[in-house]
Amino acid sequence: MGLIEIVAQFIGIIAMVFNILSYQGKKQSTVIFLQLFGGAFFAVNFLMLGASVGGLLNIIATIRAIIFLYKDKLKADRTPWFVAFITSYISVYILSFTVFSKEPTTFNLIIEILPVIGMLALNIGFRLKNASDVRKCGLVSSSAWLIYNIVVGSWGAIIC
């Protein structure tokens, strides 16, 4: 294991700590603030590991957290934001095979779509009112991300 991968794994562990701490937050703003840092560190972690889709989606997640910190001012719960996030997730998938030149093998097409599915499920879950439905979306998201994390080898993301 090279120095870059060691540093990447360390950054992934830091990201994991922020995300775990976010569940201890008593206020929504605290949870979102801590997840903002978790997303930012995971973005660096994935990019350092060469996992561009995971990195870019976490950059979007960081931006999403900032927007939701100011949700009243920015009206973040409105449909245009939802559509913008969905569009950005799908765009990241397309960019990975065009701009980032990921080889479009069957394996890559499947693996790279998993975190996109995870993000889509999470965003849909955020809009639902029924707690059971929100948990189902969370299960889809977690499962999709877990498989991706195992394939790209992000220890902090796997544990998280």
Domain borders along the chain are 3-159
- Reported pTM: 0.93
For 32, the enclosing helix (H) or strand (E) is: helix 28-48
Let me know: does 6 contact 153? Beta carbons within 8 Å.
no
pLDDT digits (tens, 9 = 90+) for 54-112: 999 999 999 999 998 898 899 888 899 999 999 999 999 999 999 989 999 999 999 99
Let me know: does 56 contact 62? Beta carbons within 8 Å.
no
Quick one: 21 exposed, middle or buried, by C-beta within 10 A (0-12, 13-18, 19+)?
A: middle
Give the pLDDT of residue 48. 97
Phi first, then psi: give them for residue 2, nearest 5 degrees: -80, 170
Residue 31: is its pLDDT beyond 90?
no
